Amino acid sequence: LVDDEMEEVIRQLEHQISKLEGVLRLENMVTASGGKVFAANGERADFHTTLKKCEEAGGSVATPRNPGENDAILYFVKKFNSYAYLGIKKSPIPSKFQFLDGIQLSYTNWHSNEPSGKGEE
């Protein structure tokens, strides 16, 4: 009986999440790629505030790992005509970057002559 009750709770939660994702998609506040959901609220904030808001929502700052995920992030850059923070940081290795957890990047798509450290990467 406990398993049946738990399955029903899970089913209801999945339904609620699906409805919320549907509303967000209608408002163009969420997009998906590679099994990941990318969302933005259009508000401007510094990196630490962005990191905190993402964690509070149960997610993390976007970390593009392939062209599709990069395009999902670019969607919001264009939609809000603003930059996007990425979940990466400078590596101890000169001219290299890594994810916030220290893992080296395996995918990059920098503009020519970037990253320059001037905020236009």
CA distance 75 to 57: 20
Residue 120 scores a pLDDT above 70: no
Q: What is the pLDDT of residue 24?
A: 61
The model carries a pTM of: 0.71
pLDDT (tens digit per residue) in 84-103 = 999 999 888 887 889 999 99
pLDDT (tens digit per residue) in 34-86 = 888 888 888 899 999 999 988 888 889 999 999 999 999 999 999 899 889 99
Instruction: Tell me the fold of 1-86.
Output: Mannose-Binding Protein A; Chain A (3.10.100)
CA distance 7 to 15: 12
